[in-house]
Amino acid sequence: MSARPLIIDCDPGQDDAVALLLAFASAEELDLLGVTAVAGNVPLARTESNARRIRDLAGRPEVPVYAGCPRPMVREPVSAEYVHGSTGIDGADLPEPSRPAEPAHAVDFLVDALKAAVEPITLATLGPLTNVALAIVKEPAILANVREIVTMGGAIGLGNVTPAAEFNIHADPHAAHVVFEAGVPLTMIGLDVTHQAIATPPRLEAIRALGTAPAAAVCGMLDLYGARNLATYDHGAPMHDPCVVAYLLAPGLFEGRAMRVDVELGAGHCFGRTVCDLHGRSGAGANAHVLERVDADGFFAMLTERLARLPAVPI
């Protein structure tokens, strides 16, 4: 089977970094055309630089990285240094990137790549949806060449950044609304499923035992991410963004169902919430495939095996 053309939009971010490494390690299945960075967990200058650092760590210098939008479409910017640290990838301790980002803006790259696509492209989004939404607004015709969008964001249940909203959606709900209304195949990987894929100590030790530079970076980040998560929940680091790449590689590890999902744009307690019509009460047609379950052991077995494929030391 030929590799799937893919663009990853991200806001590294410790879990984004693990997701990128998983994708970089899977060149046989994923033809990574480019990585686009967006402001989110930390400001854009950090997210785009971190994407390039992770690219170096993975030994994939040929994959272009593009800097995108430095702020959400409408609301005031928010970030998550309290989770990911001031660098965005605290615990990884990576050197300066070996080469610059591409000169084109991420939104222009998304538009140009999709307009020129000879095979539909999958968009995997790991952060706020600002870049993807603005590409759609700028050139709606690109939607004809989107195979599907797989997005880490939202929740059927409770949020993580407010009682009602998940960070990626809450950070740019207007962009999320554009994407959820785009009418292309959309798989939503929300907190309900990502909080089933927890980097427990035994799972982290299996990765640490690889003894490679990527494994050390992953464990350094997840040790910190897990500790910060324990301050709120009764478990360690949820593998939010890596679930997106794992779904592309092994969809059979996941279960979900089609349903209508609306993004709450009104001010108040539910601003930025994904309202998931689990029981079809709205009568509106489904616009998303919403994942609900993951085989966590199968996920970590695949993650560990793939991380082992990366160069032991940066090339």
**Catalytic machinery residues:** 240
Cβ proximity of 47 and 12 under 8 Å: yes
Distance CA 232, CA 146 (A): 37
Which one of residues 4, 5, 6, 11 is an interface residue with Ca ion (CB under 5 A)?
11
Stretch that binds Ca ion, among 15-23, 71-79, 111-119, 210-218 (CB under 5 A): 15-23
Write each residue from 18 to 47 as x if it is in contact with ligand RIB (CB under 6 A), else as -, in one continuous string: ----------------------xx------
Cβ proximity of 69 and 131 under 8 Å: yes
CB of 19 vs Ca ion, minimal distance in Å: 8
Asked if 13 is part of the footprint of ligand RIB (rule: CB under 6 A), the reply reads yes
Q: Which helix (H) or strand (E) holds 7?
A: strand 4-10
Asked if 180 is part of the footprint of ligand RIB (rule: CB under 6 A), the reply reads no
Which one of residues 5, 13, 68, 154 is an interface residue with Ca ion (CB under 5 A)?
13
Cβ proximity of 213 and 57 under 8 Å: yes
Distance (Å) of CA 214 to CA 25, 36, 52, 117: 11, 21, 14, 32
Residue type, 41: N
- Residue 175 contacts by C-beta under 8 Å, 6 or more apart in sequence? 72, 73, 128, 129, 130, 132, 133, 134
Q: Which two tokens stand for residue 124?
A: 């995997």
Task: Give the rounded distance of the alpha carbon of 205 from its chain centre.
Answer: 24
Which one of residues 87, 122, 131, 168 is an interface residue with ligand RIB (CB under 6 A)?
168
Question: In the window 182-241, what residues touch Ca ion (CB under 5 A)?
Answer: 241
Cβ proximity of 172 and 144 under 8 Å: no
Asked if 11 is part of the footprint of ligand RIB (rule: CB under 6 A), the reply reads yes
Which one of residues 69, 94, 152, 288 is an interface residue with ligand RIB (CB under 6 A)?
152
Compare residues 78 and 206 and give the one whose CB is closer to Ca ion: 78
Residues making contact with Ca ion (CB under 5 A): 11, 13, 16, 126-127, 241
- Site residues (CB under 6 A) for ligand RIB? 11, 13, 15-16, 40-41, 126-127, 152, 160, 166-168, 240-241
